[in-house]
Structure 1
Amino acid sequence: MSLHQTSGRWRLGLALSIFTVILWGTVPIALAVAVQALDVYTVTWFRFVVSFVLLTVFLAVRQELPTVEKIRAAPIKLIAIAIIFFLFHYVSFLQGLAQTSPSNAEVLIQLAPVLMGLGALFIFKERYTLSQWIGLGLLTLGLVLFFNEQIIALINEPTNYLIGSGILILSAIFWAVYSLALKQLLHTLPSSNILLIVYGGCGLLLTPLAKPQPIFTLTAVQFAMLLFCGLNTVMGYGAFAESLDHLEASKVSAVVTLAPIVTFVSMWVVAGVAPNLIKPEHITAIGILGGLFVVGGSMIIALRARTSTD
């Protein structure tokens, strides 16, 4: 089986990865507000339905909807893997988050892009240069420093967080498997077509568990946050899928590790503008230093793309 090869337009891939980071870094705040009024399955179902509808309209206008022949030509088993593992990731992350805390969830979910990057090294035969391995070490050290308080709290917790932490680790594995399946599917289908199928499949599977009635009783702020979650899904994963077509998965994985930093910065901003909406996160000087290491390590890995095409 031939493996997917990147287009070589690494600067475009990097820009799309950064856009993905911004969207993924801000969505936890919206989710925190939305789950105050809705259950995990309904929030996730709504995100998939909104994404499916918007992407369908977009592709229909551009006359790029996937044909039956295209879908049949794609590996069905790989499509099924992408749908199932993407759904598992979404649901398990919110369940794990509910049983631990946002900070600890952010620590553990960082395993996802790391696992995707390491998987890409073996499956797609991607390679790190020496400087990129140094960058990975710097990134890892940065994550430890940035989340030092959360990691210590996680270790010191007796059994409270054990089940939730295990679910979050599984969520990271689910995401890595989905991402690698997505990259291989790009060999036969454009990213927009793959995501349309994935959104539709996930939304259909979640329909029996969703309770849409409470959506009509949400406050204006709650509904706005829920709608943002839906828009964030289609735009964030659209940019992520497209970035994999132009930049190696191992490098994309390095960039998306910046999402937690965006989350904490966004929380500071929201706490200043609307202090009653969400609790601000306190970061120590060591944490700030760790954040700089994460940024530096990620950029070293991402910007060492050895290609002459743009």
Structure 2
Amino acid sequence: MHQASGRSFYGFILALITAVLWGMLPIALKHLLVDLSANTITWVRFLVAALFVSAVLWHKNALPAVRGLSKKALTLLLIAIGGLLSNYILYLMGLHLLTAETAQVVIQLAPFLMMMGGIFIFREQLLLWQKIGATLLVIGLLLFFNEKLLVLLTQFNQDSLGVLLVIIAAVTWACYALAQKQLLMTFNSQQIMWFIYLAGAVCFLPLIDLTPVLQLSGLQWGLLAFCCLNTIIAYGAFAEALEHWEASKVSAVLAITPLLTILFANIVSWLFPDAAPAQALNFWSVAGALLVVAGSAITALSPLLKHHLAGKRQAG
């Protein structure tokens, strides 16, 4: 079993960098979706990431091959590829119909669904604090949508479709994550991501429209470059954080991502009044967002809490 290096502060900084980058990402994507299609943005991000990871693996002489893979490993690889490719495009389609803040809160279902998959597929036990965290997450989502909940449930409008697409994106991400967990017995994380990035660059190629790319403003080129670098740096910082800090603690830091998105959206709205205004949130929506974050953090930290309490009982 992998053991963290113990460099906790370094792991925390890396996890925080990941959270900040993922918090900024939907805001940048939202502005790009005005002129670029979801397929084109996704293809560019996959292409740049594929070229970068290819160079890294080639330098390490670690480019993977599918020849000789077992049927089980090949199936898992296809699930991981299909899961993350679907997640990228469905999230962007949902983001196009929603505010960045709403999309980021709803996508917090992803780690919760991964946990549920671990329970039903890998027969992992659901701890008491995980049940509490999951309950808080669901209550938080209901409170966040307090003003729109009745409309979302009774009238299938643009917001309803957007929320549905992001929920499905969360499901497909959970499928990818669970498949990757098993694939780590065959490939390392960089090799798995190389397969996914390469597949994405190939699969989305027939669906792109590069004409609007040539007409982008300087700011939009900067946002597109940021989104590409975000894919590489955020996932790299995330993987490196896991080398130095426990996975549960890293996940707990990442739980603040929706709050960072809300913060950055308000900062952008203040700095650029002509840009899309930040989402107006009432008291219950803010409380709901905080509960979503708390629920995600408690769920992630539950294994550590159980271990700590067990240690205290033994010491007593």
DSSP 3-state at the match of 1:148: coil
DSSP 3-state at the match of 1:76: helix
- Note if 1:119 corresponds to 2:117: yes
Aligned position for 1:261? 259
Normalized against structure 2, the TM-score is what? 0.81
Are the counterparts in 1 of residues 112 and 134 from structure 2 also a CA contact under 8 Å? no
CA displacement 1:166-214 (0-9 Å, x = unmatched): 4333222211111111111112211111101110111111111112243
Pairwise CA distance, 1:15 = 6.2
Aligned position for 1:138? 136
Normalized against structure 1, the TM-score is what? 0.82
CA displacement 1:92-147 (0-9 Å, x = unmatched): 22223334554553454333222112112233343343233223323333333334
Tell me the distance in 2 between the aligned counterparts of 1:225 and 1:171. Answer: 23
Aligned position for 1:273? 271
Residues 77 and 33 of structure 1: CA distance in aligned 2, closer, same or farther (over 3 Å):
same
Aligned position for 2:62? 65
Q: Which moved more, 1:214-223 or 1:109-118?
A: 109-118
Q: How does 1:1-310 map to 2 (within 5 A)?
A: 7=3, 17-61=15-59, 63=60, 65-68=62-65, 72=69, 75-102=73-100, 104-155=102-153, 157-240=155-238, 256-306=254-304
Tell me the distance in 2 between the aligned counterparts of 1:163 and 1:289. Answer: 24
In structure 1, runs of 5+ residues without a counterpart are none
Q: Which moved more, 1:282-291 or 1:174-183?
A: 282-291
Residue type at the aligned position of 2:27: I
Q: What percentage of residue pairs aligned between the two structures are identical?
A: 36
Q: Which moved more, 1:187-196 or 1:287-296?
A: 287-296
CA displacement 1:266-309 (0-9 Å, x = unmatched): 1011112222233212222233333333333333333344369x
Tell me the distance in 2 between the aligned counterparts of 1:303 and 1:34. Answer: 35
DSSP 3-state at the match of 2:277: coil
DSSP 3-state at the match of 2:186: coil
Residue type at the aligned position of 2:281: I
Residues 290 and 30 of structure 1: CA distance in aligned 2, closer, same or farther (over 3 Å):
same
DSSP 3-state at the match of 1:31: helix
Are the counterparts in 2 of residues 6 and 247 from structure 1 also a CA contact under 8 Å? no
Residue type at the aligned position of 2:278: P
Tell me the distance in 2 between the aligned counterparts of 1:295 and 1:46. Answer: 31
Residues 243 and 152 of structure 1: CA distance in aligned 2, closer, same or farther (over 3 Å):
farther
Tell me the distance in 2 between the aligned counterparts of 1:211 and 1:142. Answer: 39
Tell me the distance in 1 between the aligned counterparts of 2:213 and 2:186. Answer: 38
Residue type at the aligned position of 2:197: Y
DSSP 3-state at the match of 1:200: helix
CA displacement 1:24-50 (0-9 Å, x = unmatched): 221011101111121111111001011
The number of equivalent residue pairs is 302
Residues 119 and 7 of structure 1: CA distance in aligned 2, closer, same or farther (over 3 Å):
farther
Are the counterparts in 1 of residues 64 and 191 from structure 2 also a CA contact under 8 Å? no
Residues 129 and 33 of structure 1: CA distance in aligned 2, closer, same or farther (over 3 Å):
same
Residues 269 and 160 of structure 1: CA distance in aligned 2, closer, same or farther (over 3 Å):
closer
C-alpha RMSD of matched pairs (Å): 3.2
Tell me the distance in 1 between the aligned counterparts of 2:73 and 2:256. Answer: 32
Pairwise CA distance, 1:86 = 1.3
Tell me the distance in 1 between the aligned counterparts of 2:253 and 2:113. Answer: 13
